[in-house]
Amino acid sequence: MDTCLLDSIVNITGQRDIESLELSLLAALAELLPVREITLNKLGENFNIRYVQSVTSYVLDKQGEGQIDFSWEDIPRLVALDGRVTHSLNTGSSEYFFDDTGFYVALVPVAIDKDIPLLLIIISESDLTDNQSMIEGMVSVYANYRYVLNESSCDKLTGLLNRRTFDGKFQKLIDVQSQRKSIHRPVSPTHQPRIQRDNEWPWLAIVDIDHFKSVNDTYGHVIGDEVLLLLSQLIKSSFRDSDLSFRFGGEEFVVLLEPITEKMAFEVLTRFSAAVASYEFPQVGKITVSIGFAKINKGDFPTEVLGRADQSLYYVKEHGRNGVREYNQLQARGLLKGSKKTGTVELF
């Protein structure tokens, strides 16, 4: 086996988080192939509309005569769902072709545990078919190791991210926030990145099921687990794919919202709260949730934001439950009397 190829495989399987794994795959293929751009894209669906959106890209920059460099771009870009992309995703088969812009393109679906959540797109000035076995072999190594990391980073019951992944995901959100306050070069006129506006911030929300102990006491832990599973499904369907959801333990969940206005954050969380309250849980019937949320400022530590959101949650719990409150609003009105721990969220 080629030494460079072997080194690339060793590097991929040496990663310990999904973001680093994604970067190592693209970097390895960019080193092994004559690529102009290589992008890993995720599949998603909002309001029954299917879309493909870039996760990260490795892009060739021509700096001038004889000067070539590569740069990373992780600002999400939508990928057109044309016939070839749709066929590749529907069949799970790779597509290699010469497109009308004068470049060779490879579309490689990434199958993880029988699903196809990702699509690799490679753009090159050279024909890629001679490297098809190597490309798809590297993707298989990535997919197998991605499955292993998914197993260690997700809560076994709900499938949401677990507590141990929180700090890394939090920092990633802060980094992306900083980048989006800058102007980024689009790869093409049709791929304009979304720039974060000055009144948009990321938010952290703590979601706590009201009177969950009585559910377990009355119906047993099997039914209690079913409530947690169904609630996690409501969380997945109520927030954007780019928002991150965690089960922190017991009946408490944490949601990281990508940058939006305070008004929008309140509306999104209130809509989710209403969706839970209107849902008929088998055997249990109706339940409600209490939600406290807080803005994430640049430079904040995770424990600081968790503490602010937790104070907001405590206020909701002490004032009737089944509500949504934001930390700064409560503080401005003098309604926060002190910090108390409401549940299982570990602040320190």
Cβ neighbourhood burial of 150 (10 Å; 0-12, 13-18, 19+) = middle
Report the C-alpha gap between 207 and 225 in whole angstroms: 16
Residue tagged 């470049």 (tokens): 103
Joined together, the tokens standing for residue 73 give 């771009």
Catalytic residue among 22, 37, 73, 251: 251
Q: Which residues lie below 8 Å from residue 299, measured CB to CB, with a gap of 6+?
A: none
Report the C-alpha gap between 304 and 178 in whole angstroms: 19
Is residue 251 part of the annotated active site? The answer reads yes
Q: Are strands 67-73 and 49-64 parallel, antiparallel or unpaired?
A: antiparallel
Residue tagged 């947690």 (tokens): 228
Residue 16 CA to chain centroid, in angstroms?
A: 17
Q: Which residues lie below 8 Å from residue 322, measured CB to CB, with a gap of 6+?
A: 210, 273, 277, 288, 289, 290, 316
Report the C-alpha gap between 304 and 348 in whole angstroms: 10
Cα-Cα-Cα-Cα torsion 227, 232, 238, 242, nearest 10 degrees, comes to 170
Q: Which amino acid, one-letter code, is at 341?
A: K
Q: Which residues are catalytic?
A: 251
